[in-house]
Structure 1
């Protein structure tokens, strides 16, 4: 194990970083009781971290999960959905034939494509052709769009104890982590008041308390 790995490796290797989307995967692995080796590195800020993950993921991004057979999975939403589906006994996702499955997939992909993906712009605004002199304005615009996308999701969900009803799913884990990114939780609470109680329940889940403290304290 390396750089804060949790438990015996058991064949799973996760390239991740504190305060990143990989923490949602760590949360799922924790709830499932699956040991893994964590290879730590903030790839968006550290060239050495990018080189560590490069043999497994040419995009040089986290999270990257390597299975015991050597197959690589990237994309946090895909990893979370697959982990939940591989362990139906944990009930971390609606079954494929369950009425809530369509809503589950819709919002997992919404968080991934409409919200999480926007954070890729912020470290280097030249990625969208903007000059560095406009970085502040671009980041402000990104944060406005993220808040809008949270509000859109909030208006269409009818949460119970958790986002899809009374059972915790990986959607709850995903939102609990991504809502900690800028524009930060205060703005999330403002934009998504209906989702807020469910997300705070994930923050307070005793099974995840040590993980949150170590890997991504809520702001």
Structure 2
């Protein structure tokens, strides 16, 4: 009898990018211990994760052997590839693999990364007095990037066709961040239809409700 997989430790927080990882672990049936803490707002949370991730950011995933993974896109790709039987990512020889990798990294670098600016606009050299203008500009850029992705994808039932992947989970999570779903629906109507299906996925309904009510 095959023993169950060893539990993982995930540093994360409600209403954050770590919820996409929680969604993937839920679909994979992988047990994990959640260490809760909003590192962008809580010094104690930053201190808790520091031993595993010197950047003091979430999500941070600690594997059973103690190895650490950071970066949400990398964690999601790794977990999906670790369990190919669940089919949460196209296989390396699948023609869809190129677009899968392209858009996973696009969401991470072109969209998710912009949210790092908003809690502290001085990170990019802007004065605190310009915060409202900077955040508005960031939201405009995020909307533009979602629109560009929407123009280039031809979704099926899911973003890449007939099978749900961690890309769907990633977009469903990151699109909950400001400037919120109303604007996402306006600029990315094709993806919005898919994201509504992800929101309604029965296996994830409790997770979305508890960890990231729709913004």
TM range (shorter): over 0.9
Say which of 192, 202, 209 aligns to 1:206.
202
1:9 Cα deviation from its structure 2 partner? 9.7
* Matched residue, 2:73: 77
Separation (CA, whole Å) in 1 of partners of 2:6 and 2:180:
35
1:187 is paired with a residue of what secondary structure? Answer: helix
After TM superposition, the score normalised by the length of structure 1 is 0.95
What are the residue-to-residue correspondences of 1:88-99 with 2, within 5 Å?
Answer: 88-99=84-95
2:189 is paired with a residue of what secondary structure? Answer: coil
Give deviations 1:96-150, integer Å, cap 9, x for gaps.
Answer: 0110000000000000000000000000000000000000000000000000000
Aligned residue pair count: 212
Separation (CA, whole Å) in 2 of partners of 1:196 and 1:127:
31
Separation (CA, whole Å) in 1 of partners of 2:8 and 2:190:
36
* Matched residue, 2:47: 51
What are the residue-to-residue correspondences of 1:3-14 with 2, within 5 Å?
Answer: 10-14=6-10
Say which of 107, 112, 118 aligns to 1:122.
118
1:194 is paired with a residue of what secondary structure? Answer: helix
1:39 is paired with a residue of what secondary structure? Answer: strand
Give deviations 1:76-103, integer Å, cap 9, x for gaps.
Answer: 0000000000100000000001100000
2:190 is paired with a residue of what secondary structure? Answer: coil
Tell whether the 8 Å contact from 1:56 to 1:72 is kept in structure 2 after alignment: yes
Separation (CA, whole Å) in 2 of partners of 1:9 and 1:86:
11
Unaligned runs of 5+ in 1: 1-7
* Matched residue, 1:3: none
Q: Within the alignment, does 1:27 sit opposite 2:23 as a pair?
A: yes
After TM superposition, the score normalised by the length of structure 2 is 0.97
Give deviations 1:9-61, integer Å, cap 9, x for gaps.
Answer: 94310000000000000000000000000000000000000000000000000
Give deviations 1:162-203, integer Å, cap 9, x for gaps.
Answer: 000011000000000000000000000001001111110000
Large movers: runs of 4+ above 6 Å: none
